[in-house]
C-alpha cells in the first residue's frame, strides 16, 4: 500500500500553529498537527552539502510521452538520482498526479522524507485539474506539483500549500480572454520543510508550476507569481529559515525581468550557463539555451552558498536509456548543490 498519506498526518506540523507563517493566502485547512515527542533542541545540523532536484515529469497532460512513460518509470528515474547522490535532500516535481506519481514517490523515498502534493486548479476557476493518465472511473482530479524534503533527526517536519494572492483579478475563466474575468487565485506552490529551535537546521522548500502558455494575461500572472513566491521566501528568511524555491516557471532566461524578485533574494542553481531544460536529446551542451530553459532552482542567499549545478541531460551517466531518449518527459531534470553557512 502506498504510504504518502502518512506524510499528511501525524508526521508533519502546521505552520499556522507552530510559527505563524499562514495568512489568508495559505491553505491552513489542510495543515496537520504537530507530532508528539519531538525535541528540536537535540536536532542534528543540516548536512555539509544539500542538493536539490526539480523535474517536470510530464505526467499530467495528454501530450506527454506514452510508450515508455509509465508512472513507475518516472519515479524509477528520480530514484536513480537519489540512490546515486546521497546529498539530494530536496526533490520537486511538476505535472504530477498525486495518485500516480507523488504517492509513489513518497512510498519509494520512505519514512525519512516528507512529501507534499498540491493539486492544481484550472485557471480562473475552482475546478481541480483531472489526471488524464488515471485509470480510475471517473478519472482522479489530482494533477499538480509536489515537493519532498529529507528529514533530519530531531527536527519537526512540516508541509503545507501556498496560494499566490497577486493573481486575483488577472485570471479569466479557463484562461481565455473572451470569457469572464474572475477573482479566483489558482496559482501557488507545494511546500515542505524542517522546523527546529536550533537555527542551524531550519529549511523550507517549495515547488511551483507557473501558468502555461496560451493563457490570457500569462506574462502578468507569471510576474506576480514570482513576486509572491519571493515575498514568501523573504518572510521565511526573516524567520531564520533557509529557502529553496523552484519548479517549472515557464519563463525564459531574462524573461523581461519577471523573475527579478527571486534573483533579488536568492541565486539560481544553474546561473553560470543556464542550460536547456527542454532541449532535444542530442543537445547535451549549453549551445542552444535560448527558447528552452523553463525550469529553475532558487536558493536563498541567506544561509546557503553555491557549490554547483547543471541540467541532467542525455549525457548523464546515471540516467536510463528511456530518459536519455526523452521518452519519459519533454523536460530534463535540473540539479544544483549548495552548502549551508550561518544565517546573516
Residues 13-63: tens digit of each pLDDT? 334 333 333 333 444 333 322 333 344 455 677 899 999 999 999 998 777
Question: Among residues 123, 105, 125, which one has the least CA distance to residue 114?
Answer: 105
The residue ranking higher by pLDDT, 261 or 61, is 261
Q: Is the pLDDT of residue 173 over 50?
A: yes
pLDDT band at 69 (very low <50, low <70, confident <90, very high): confident
Q: Is the pLDDT of residue 184 over 50?
A: yes
pLDDT per residue as tens digits for the range 298-314: 999 999 999 999 999 87
Please state, in angstroms and rounded to a whole number, the distance separating the CA atoms of residues 146 and 149. Answer: 10
The residue ranking higher by pLDDT, 157 or 284, is 157
pLDDT at 63 (0 to 100): 72
pLDDT per residue as tens digits for the range 222-257: 999 999 999 999 999 999 999 999 999 999 888 789
Q: Is the pLDDT of residue 211 over 60?
A: yes
**36 within some domain:** no
* Other residues' Cβ atoms within 10 Å of the Cβ of residue 109: 22
pTM for the predicted model, two decimal places: 0.87
Tally of domains within the chain: 1
**229 within some domain:** yes
Sequence-ordered list of residues with C-beta below 8 angstroms from that of 272, at least 6 positions apart, any chain: none
**27 within some domain:** no
DSSP element (H, E) containing 146: strand 143-150
Which CATH number belongs to the domain containing residue 137 in this structure? Answer: 3.60.10.10
**1 within some domain:** no
Q: Mean of the pLDDT values across residues 114-120?
A: 98
**267 within some domain:** yes
Q: Is the pLDDT of residue 9 over 80?
A: no
**70 within some domain:** yes
pLDDT band at 122 (very low <50, low <70, confident <90, very high): very high
Q: Is the pLDDT of residue 6 over 70?
A: no
Please state, in angstroms and rounded to a whole number, the distance separating the CA atoms of residues 340 and 301. Answer: 10
pLDDT at 85 (0 to 100): 97
DSSP element (H, E) containing 261: helix 260-265
The alpha-carbon radius of gyration of the chain (Å, integer) is 19
The residue ranking higher by pLDDT, 289 or 104, is 104
The residue with cell 524578485 is: 261
pLDDT at 321 (0 to 100): 93
Q: Which domain holds residue 283?
A: 49-340
Q: Is the pLDDT of residue 293 over 80?
A: yes
pLDDT at 283 (0 to 100): 55
Please state, in angstroms and rounded to a whole number, the distance separating the CA atoms of residues 161 and 338. Answer: 25
The residue ranking higher by pLDDT, 7 or 147, is 147
**324 within some domain:** yes
Of 26-40, 162-176, 264-278, least confident by mean pLDDT is 26-40
Of 77-81, 165-169, 288-292, 325-329, least confident by mean pLDDT is 288-292
**7 within some domain:** no
Amino acid at each position: 500500500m502506498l504510504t504518502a498519506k502518512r506524510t499528511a498526518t501525524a508526521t508533519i506540523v502546521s505552520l499556522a500553529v507552530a510559527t505563524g507563517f499562514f495568512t489568508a493566502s495559505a491553505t491552513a485547512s489542510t495543515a496537520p498537527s504537530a507530532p508528539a515527542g519531538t525535541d528540536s533542541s537535540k536536532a542534528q545540523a543540516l548536512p555539509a552539502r544539500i542538493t536539490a532536484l526539480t523535474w517536470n515529469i510530464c505526467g499530467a497532460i495528454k501530450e506527454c510521452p506514452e510508450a515508455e512513460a509509465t508512472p513507475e518509470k518516472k519515479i524509477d528515474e528520480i530514484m536513480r538520482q537519489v540512490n546515486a547522490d546521497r546529498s539530494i535532500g530536496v526533490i520537486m516535481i511538476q505535472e504530477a498526479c498525486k495518485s500516480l506519481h507523488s504517492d509513489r514517490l513518497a512510498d519509494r523515498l520512505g519514512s525519512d522524507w516528507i512529501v507534499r502534493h498540491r493539486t492544481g486548479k484550472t485557471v480562473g476557476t475552482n475546478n481541480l485539474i483531472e489526471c488524464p493518465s488515471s485509470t480510475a472511473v471517473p478519472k482522479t482530479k489530482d494533477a499538480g506539483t509536489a515537493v519532498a524534503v529529507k528529514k533530519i533527526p530531531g527536527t519537526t517536519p512540516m508541509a503545507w500549500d501556498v496560494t499566490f494572492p497577486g493573481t486575483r483579478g488577472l485570471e479569466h475563466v479557463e484562461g481565455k480572454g473572451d470569457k469572464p474575468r474572475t477573482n479566483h487565485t489558482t496559482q501557488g506552490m507545494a511546500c515542505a520543510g524542517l522546523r527546529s529551535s536550533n537555527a542551524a537546521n531550519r529549511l523550507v522548500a517549495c515547488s511551483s508550476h507557473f501558468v502555461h502558455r496560451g493563457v490570457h494575461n500569462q506574462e502578468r500572472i507569471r510576474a506576480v507569481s514570482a513576486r509572491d513566491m519571493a515575498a514568501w521566501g523573504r518572510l521565511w528568511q526573516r524567520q531564520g529559515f533557509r529557502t529553496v524555491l523552484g519548479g517549472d516557471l515557464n519563463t525564459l532566461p531574462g524573461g523581461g525581468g519577471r523573475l527579478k524578485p527571486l534573483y533579488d533574494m536568492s541565486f539560481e542553481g544553474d546561473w553560470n550557463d543556464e542550460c536547456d531544460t527542454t532541449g532535444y536529446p542530442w543537445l547535451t551542451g549549453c549551445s542552444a539555451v535560448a527558447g528552452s530553459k523553463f525550469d529553475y532552482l532558487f536558493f536563498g542567499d541567506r544561509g546557503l552558498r553555491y557549490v554547483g549545478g547543471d541540467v541532467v541531460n542525455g549525457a548523464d551517466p546515471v540516467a536510463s536509456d528511456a530518459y536519455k531518449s526523452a521518452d519519459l518527459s519533454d523536460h530534463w531534470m535540473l540539479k544544483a548543490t549548495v552548502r549551508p553557512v550561518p544565517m546573516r
